[in-house]
Amino acid sequence: MKMEVKRYGMRWKIVLVFMVIGALRAKGASGSRLLLDESVVTYDNFITGTEANPLVLRTYFPDPGLSGEVLVNHAIGYRSRRYKMGEGDVEGFADPIRGIVAGIGVNFGGKLSYCWDTTECRLLFAWQGGFMDMTNDWGNPNDGRRGSYNNVPKIEGNLIYLTKGSHPLMILDEFTNTHSPKYHSMRLVGNVPEFAYKLGKAMVRVRITPGENPMTLVKSYFVTGVDRAEYHETDYDFSLVRKNSLEFSVKIEGRKDLVRADDAYLSESIRVPGGKIVEGFPSGFMPVYSLEDDQAESLVRFLKEEASQ
């Protein structure tokens, strides 16, 4: 009983303590320390992780064009009559927007970001470059303003993988319905998330990491509870390295139509502009310049400086 009384007293203390915290923050008077700050989220709406210490974020995600076949365990939202305070239903409609509701995002710095979905229990899409612009959801750091009728964060970088078709894992068991996975947990193994889900009698663990080459990623599977599991992938080249019938890794080659704009690419594009043409631009449009190596190098450096600003 004494403990209970103490707890009730502490509840009031907590409320008041945080009123004071709020006042302190407003005055910017706090000198308190954060001892482990690697994974703390700040006012930075473009927060990223690193390859050694990836950032894991649970939030809403944009839908870059996923098909209904992928989102088979989701329901469809419809437009509704617009509502206005004081008037009720008014002319016009409130349309649904495209977003993912229960995903987990992981960022390994510039090498890889991805969105794994806890409803479908599968990798939905992956991209390279930055992570996300969280302003629509978290608000502008200066005035707190959020997206207008849009709370979906934006992807920063280039999409390299967008999943298609049915669930990629096949359990060779006639009683397993691979269309109804059940999310179980996320475990951080050496800072890298490993997702676990049930697929019929099987318990599946999967870890997704950057590949060695640009535009690649690796999915490592560990399956228990069944005799054998198979993997299939729609529209992307992949290589499967099997340790045994239930433990294997899949290296996926991302979009082939993407080219990394590194120094060599920029230099080639200046000297031989017809060598690679960006989709949507006419060929033979840019004149050919004859430049020395150091001149081309200077131009590339100038372009990179401009881009960084």
Partner 1 sequence: MKMVISCLVLVSAFLFLSRTRANDRSGNSCYTVETVGFPGGVPLEVGAMGLNEDGELVVALRRGNILIGKLSSDPDATDWRVFAQALHNACGMHVVSRSEVIVSQMPELTRIVDTDGDGQADLYENLYSEWGIGGNYHEINSLVSDGAGGYYVALGTASYNSPTYYHVRGGYSKIGRRGRNYSAVSWKGWLLHIDQTGETTPWSSGFRMQNGILLDRDGNLWSGDNQGDWKGTTPFYHLRRGHFKGTRAAWCGSQDGIGRRIRSSFRPRRGAL
Q: Which of residues 187-206 bind partner 1 (CB under 8 A)?
A: 187-189, 193
**Could you tell me the smallest distance in angstroms from the CB atom of residue 179 to partner 1?**
15
In this chain, which of 52, 69, 89, 243 binds partner 1, going by CB under 8 A? 89
90 binds partner 1 (CB under 8 A): no
94 near partner 1, rule: CB under 8 A: yes
| Residue corresponding to tokens 């008037």 | 87
- Is residue 229 within 8 A of residue 244, CB to CB? The reply is no
Question: Rounded to 5 degrees, what are φ and ψ at 43?
Answer: -80, -5
Given a contact cutoff of 8 angstroms between Cβ atoms, the answer to whether 229 and 172 are in contact is yes
Query: Is residue 95 within the footprint of partner 1 (CB under 8 A)?
Result: yes
- Could you tell me if residue 88 is left (phi over 0), alpha (psi between -120 and 50 degrees) or otherwise beta? left
Query: From the CB of 123, what's the least distance to partner 1, in Å?
Result: 16
Least distance to partner 1, CB of residue 245, Å: 27
Closest CA to 57 of 171, 239, 186: 186
We find the least distance from the C-beta atom of residue 59 to partner 1, in angstroms, to be 6
Identify residues 21-80 at the interface with partner 1 (CB under 8 A).
21-22, 24-25, 28-43, 55-60, 63, 66, 71, 73-78, 80
Q: Of the candidates 12, 175, 281, 285, which one interacts with partner 1 according to CB under 8 A?
A: 12
Binding to partner 1, residues 110-129 (CB under 8 A):
118-119
Measured from the CB of residue 35, what is the shortest distance to partner 1 in angstroms?
4
- Closest contact distance (angstroms) between CB of 67 and partner 1 is 10
Length in residues, the chain:
309
The backbone region for 297, taken as left when phi is positive above 0, alpha when psi lies in -120 to 50, beta otherwise, is alpha
Which residue has 């019929």 as its token pair?
A: 200
> Please, which residue, 118 or 220, has the CB nearer to partner 1?
118
Pick 105 or 254: Cβ nearer partner 1: 105
Options 7-15, 214-222, 262-270, 299-307: segment touching partner 1 (CB under 8 A): 7-15
Amino acid at 9: G
Closer residue to partner 1 in complex, CB, 25/243: 25
286 bridge partner residues: none
Footprint of partner 1 on 142-181 (CB under 8 A) = 149-152
Residues 6+ apart with CB under 8 A from 90: 81, 82, 83, 84
Residues binding partner 1: number (CB under 8 A): 79
Q: In whole angstroms, what separates CA 260 from the centre of its chain?
A: 20
- In the complex with partner 1, the residue whose CB is nearer, 120 or 250, is 120
Q: Which is nearer to partner 1, 73 or 158 (CB)?
A: 73
Residues 258-287 that bind partner 1 (CB under 8 A): none
Shortest reach from residue 152's CB to partner 1, in Å: 8
Binds partner 1 (CB under 8 A): choice among 81, 201, 256, 260: 81
Q: How far apart are CA 79 and CA 9, in angstroms?
A: 48
> 236: Cβ–Cβ under 8 A, 6 or more apart, which residues?
161, 252, 253, 254
- Nearer of residues 95 and 237 to partner 1, judged by Cβ: 95
Q: With CA atoms as reference, report the closest residue to 222 among 200, 197, 239.
A: 197
CA distance 189 to 210: 15
